[in-house]
Structure 1
């Protein structure tokens, strides 16, 4: 509507003498339309000149207030527990809590619907969209145990002391293989964390770490304990480029999730209490927290799907990890066979990693012997290949 028509309608409503027929003929407007606007102006004033909203009075498919409240509740519970609370996480939470839904409700809202609800409630955190990188190359292991990633992050105890959590994840399934509380990032605790993961999940084909001294000394002209032991076990150990943490991006991202969860709980008093917290975190993360990247599966579900990779040459022999006490005569029993170790380490506990007839024996993080079993009369091990270590 032009200003001429608006002014004529207002004048007519005011009581001025307006030749409606002549004015409409001049403006190319029907008298019916003129009187329609006159009636609208009398009822609504100037706003009557604007067209009415075409929005329907009712929308049967609109999200009800009950559903909106459930979406907000899901987000609050995820945040209170220290987990990610985005739209995908809310979808998985609603799927895992069917008892929260009314009986008459079917299915769960879509990701876009959840984002609209959060925006209406003022709960949507807007993040600037980053420009895609043309030089970014994503890589991912095809099978569980093909590649493990290992790194550590710092944690502050209630006393103010700073300790380290050694974190180990599976590249393919995102399985949290180990969260080991340690006084520092040292070679002994690094090996203990790796050996504990091997005891639970077997040996990987590859191990990826950064260039920390507890992980690798290759670039400094020496060999770390982890590198030595991995080589003995047939695990290919390699490191990221210097100053390029993106290579270990999966374990770096896992640090963020773990730290966010820990911050929602009171600080641990000591390493034992921290380890208890980390064990609780791993149980929920591996068995209850679904991942968008894994098509809604938990890490444990994806890990069990397999097929699991193995180190060294292709073989179907499983890997076993056991602990033994060395007898006074310097031997231990493995698969009904006495294996000679050394009388010097009598009464000490050793960690044995064996696959088929091949054994690697450790005390702490030191390799004591590498042996291939050959059974002789009397059941005592005669060493076919042995590598005593100091």
Structure 2
């Protein structure tokens, strides 16, 4: 007889009742024939003598003491903190809720596990038992200003006008060093955002971006204006691998936090209004505890260590790439059209460049040397060059 059937087996009930009333039976044989232990038989016999037929009712196996249970007032404080954080557009997971309870003087402060249990019990979160734990390792620069990440995200004003928010984060500390409202992800707006960040926090050693044309031309074999500005300050420009947004993951995650905060507020009417909101956000974000920083705020982490700085003097960007020569003897390079002459038509040119100084080779022959004139796009041959080629 199975354990779950003890109180329901008629022969067991009858045997216990007969023994309780003084009848003599062979208990050992009965238990052997019915697959029971004598301890079980005598346990129910004692219950029957004390409670009568109620002694056969199955008892709850739940513990009498719940060491992890929290009081109703603590549960109420947890739910209230979650609601307030959500309404403010801030992260409202168990860690953030615990920090808020600490900051507001709630006592006792429940553990993260207890907060998670309260949220689950009250239907605030849905358990995800099959969700894989996060085991990826994050790379972080060792010092503040060792590298900044820059990226733009779309946003909409109250009237539906699409604008751009350019966000700049310090890789080491996650500090928001500049968040700029702009009409679009343009070179002028990007440079303006960076100049404001430089004024407040100094120059970084490197700036990491995705492959937006306002940021870099690295993977297109050219140098954009922003890269020339940065090189002039001694700052190294680095770009993520195409189609690999994880490289700029800290900035991508920062966009999510900012979008959530903005969504909790009425949309701005103008770029000026939006910029005021962004300044409010930066003050909150930079001085609020961060989970990936072990509970430090970005400002605390940024202020803890000495700042890295670029090497003295401007950098001269250089590189090499190949370009097809058109039927009219022209190659496209760094936003310019460089004339070589029809004698080189339909060949493949190798371009060696450092800053704006360029040498174009075809096989082992120098087809042209020049310094790019950025005031024009079409880099014509000089009269001397034309006469040499003819």
Q: TM-score, normalised by structure 2?
A: 0.71
- Report the Cα offset of residue 91 of structure 1: 1.6
The CA deviation at 1:8 is 2.5
Structure 1 residues 109 and 131, CA gap change in structure 2 (3 angstroms): closer
Distance 1:145 1:139 in 2: 15
Distance 1:39 1:119 in 2: 43
The answer to whether the Cα contact below 8 Å between 2:155 and 2:162 also exists between their aligned partners in 1 is yes
Q: Residues of 2 paired with 1:87 and 1:132: CA distance?
A: 16
Q: Give the secondary-structure state (helix, strand or coil) at the position aligned to 2:113.
A: helix
The 2-side partners of 1:305 and 1:17 are apart by 78
Following the alignment from structure 1 to structure 2, what is the Cα–Cα distance between the partners of residues 42 and 172? Answer: 72
1:292-344 deviations in Å (ceiling 9; x for gaps): 22121111111111211001149xxxxxxxxxxxxxxxxxxxxxxxxxxxxxx
Distance in 2 between the 1:112 and 1:17 partners? Answer: 49
Q: Which runs of 5+ in 1 are unaligned?
A: 315-387
**Structure 1 residue 21: Cα displacement:** 2.9
Q: How does 1:307-322 map to 2 (within 5 A)?
A: 307-313=306-312
Instruction: Tell whether the 8 Å contact from 1:144 to 1:173 is kept in structure 2 after alignment.
Output: yes
Identify which of 132, 136, 154 aligns with 1:130: 132
Deviation at 1:126, TM superposition (A): 3.5
Aligned partners of 2:205 and 2:235 also within 8 Å: yes
What's the secondary structure of 2:291's corresponding residue? Answer: coil
Distance 1:226 1:40, change over 3 A: farther
* In 2: Cα distance, 1:291 partner to 1:41 partner: 59
Cα separation, partners in 2 of 1:40 and 1:277, compared to 1, 3 Å: farther
Q: How does 1:238-249 map to 2 (within 5 A)?
A: 238-249=238-249
Q: Which whole-Å deviations, capped at 9, do the CAs of 1:268-292 have from their partners, x for residues lacking one?
A: 11111111111110110012x1012
Is 1:95 matched with 2:97?
Answer: no
Q: Secondary structure at the match of 1:76?
A: helix
- 1:300 aligned residue: 299
Cα shift at 1:10: 3.7
Query: Which of the numbers 76, 80, 83 marks the counterpart of 2:83?
Result: 76
Counterparts in 2 of 1:32 and 1:217: CA distance versus 1, 3 Å:
closer
The answer on whether the counterparts of 1:83 and 1:257 sit within 8 Å (CA) in structure 2 is yes
Given candidates 93, 103, 120, the residue that maps to 1:86 is 93
Match of 1:177, SS?
strand
Aligned pairs for 1:308-387 within 5 A: 308-313=307-312
The gaps in structure 2 that reach 5 residues or longer are: 32-37, 314-372, 376-390
Quote the residue 2:384 is aligned against.
none
Note if contact 1:9-1:37 (Cα within 8 Å) is conserved in structure 2. Answer: no
**How many angstroms apart in 2 are the aligned matches of 1:204 and 1:4?**
76
Shift in Å, 1:256? 0.2
Q: Flag the structure with larger Rg.
A: 2
| Cα deviation, residue 45, structure 1 | 7.3
Contact 2:286 2:297 in 1 (8 A): yes
Show the counterpart of 1:118.
Answer: 119
Q: Cα 1:138–1:16, aligned 2, differ >3 Å: closer, same or farther?
A: closer
Residues 24/149 of structure 1: CA separation in 2 closer, same or farther (3 Å cut)? same
Call closer, same or farther: CA 1:277–1:43 in 2, change over 3 Å. Answer: farther
Cα pair distance change 1:304/1:17, threshold 3 Å: closer
Contact 1:13 1:42 in 2 (8 A): no
**Residue 267 of structure 2 corresponds to which residue in structure 1?**
267
Q: Kindly state the Cα deviation for residue 27 of structure 1 after the two structures are TM-superposed.
A: 2.2
Q: Call closer, same or farther: CA 1:33–1:61 in 2, change over 3 Å.
A: closer
Q: Which runs of 4+ in 1 moved over 6 A?
A: 12-19
Please report the TM-score for the alignment, with normalisation by the length of structure 1: 0.71
How far the C-alpha of 1:41 sits from its partner, in A, is 7.8
C-alpha distance in structure 2 between counterparts of 1:261 and 1:43, whole Å = 63
Determine the C-alpha separation between the residues in 2 that align with 1:306 and 1:27: 79
CA contact (8 A) 2:20 2:48 kept: no
Partners of 1:34 and 1:194 in 2: how far apart? 81
1:348 corresponding residue in structure 2: none
Q: Post-superposition shift, 1:267?
A: 1.2
Q: Evaluate the alpha carbon distance shift between residue 51 and residue 40 of structure 1 in structure 2; reply closer, same or farther with a 3 A threshold.
A: farther
Matched, 1:206 2:216: no
Q: How many residues align?
A: 305
1:9/1:38 contact within 8 Å kept: no
